[in-house]
Amino acid sequence: MPELHLRGLSDHDARSLLESVLVTPLDHRVLERVVAEACGNPMALLELPLSARSAHLAGGFELPAVIDVPRRVEESFRQRSTELPADTRLLILVAAAEPTGDAELFWRAASHAGIAADAVGPAEDAGLLEVGTSVRFRHPLVRSAIYRSASPPDRRRAHALLAAVTDPTIDPDRRAWHRARAVLGRDEDAAADLERSAGRARSRGGLAASAAFMGHAARLTPDPAMRAARALDAAFAANESGASEAASQLLTLAKRDRSTRIRAHAWICCVRAWHSRTRGLARAWRSC
C-alpha cells in the first residue's frame, strides 16, 4: 500500500498561517517563538488564537496562564514536570515566564539563581523543552501548562529572577513587566515603571501592550484615585486595541473612585467612543 509522509509547514508558511488568524499583531520575537514551538504543525498554530485573546499576547507582555489549556494536556505536563528535580522545575518555570524565548536571558537567570547549566538536562530528556539559540518548548501549550501549574510564590520567584537579569537600559519595558509580576500586593514604584512602559508602547503604536501595562499598573497602585485614573487610561487603550471585554473590566475598576474629575473625564471619553462607534465601552460606563 502506498504511503504518504506528511511534513510540517515551512517556517515561512507557518508564519503566514499564524498571522492570518491573529486579530492583533504579535511582537516579532513572540511570533517567531510560537512558530518554532509549533514545529510546522498547523493545528498548534491555529490553537493559539482559539485558546487566548490575541490582545493578551500582543507585544509579549501577558502571562502564559491566559491561554486556555485543555485539562488533559495540562495534567499530562504537570505530572511530567513534578517528577523533575527542584532546580530543573525552577528553570522550566523561568523559561515559561519569559515569552520571547531569549536563551541568553534564560542562562543569566539560571546563573543568578545559582543553578548549574546541566540542571536543564532532565527537562530536555523528558521532552518538555530544548535550549539552543533560543528556549523552545515542544508545543506552545506546554509553556502555558507549566506556568499555570506553578504556585504563586514560585511564579513570583521566576519573574524576580528575570527582572534581576534584564538590563533596564536595553529593555526597560520587559524588566518593568517582570518586576511587576514579582510583586506581592500593591507597589507604587512598580506601578510607575509600568505606566512609563505603557507610554512607550503607545508611542510605538502598541495599543494592546499599552493597555496591558497600564491595566497592571492600575492594579498595583496603592492610592485609590490614582488607581482609578490609571484604570481609566488602560480601559480606553484596551478599547482602542479592540479588547472590549478587557476595557469593560478596567472600567469597573475605574468606577470605584467617585471623584468628579475621573467621572468627567470618563464621560468625555464615552462621547468620543460613541462618535467612533465603539459603543460597547460607552454602554459599560452608562451602566454606572
Q: Retrieve residue 149's grid coordinates.
A: 501549574
Q: How far apart are CA 164 and CA 86, in angstroms?
A: 20
Distance (Å) of CA 71 to CA 74, 80, 95, 113, 144 = 5, 14, 21, 31, 12
- Say yes or no to pLDDT of 177 above 50: yes
Domain boundary among 165, 196, 220: 165
Which domain, by its residues, includes 26?
11-66
The DSSP string of 97-141 is: H-TT-BHHHHHHHHHHTT--GGGGHHHHHTTSEEESSBEEESSHH
Same domain, 89 and 102: yes
81 and 152, same domain (yes or no)? yes
Q: What is the pTM of this model?
A: 0.76
- What average pLDDT does range 46-74 have in this prediction? 57
Query: pLDDT-based confidence at 54, cuts 50/70/90?
Result: very low
Q: Is the pLDDT of residue 50 over 80?
A: no
Mean pLDDT (whole number) for 190-201: 94
Going by DSSP bridges, is the β-strand pair 135-137/129-131 parallel, antiparallel, or unpaired? antiparallel
Mean pLDDT across 5-20 = 82
The residue-averaged pLDDT of 53-67 equals 54
Query: Among 167, 180, 198, 153, which residue's Cα sits nearest to residue 63?
Result: 180
End-to-end alpha carbon distance in the chain: 68
Question: Number of folded domains in the chain?
Answer: 3
User: Are 282 and 187 found together in one domain?
Assistant: yes
Would residue 171 count as lying in a domain?
no
CATH of the domain at 194: 1.25.40
Residues 61 and 76 in one domain: no
More confident residue, 146 or 25: 146
Is the same domain home to 149 and 78? yes
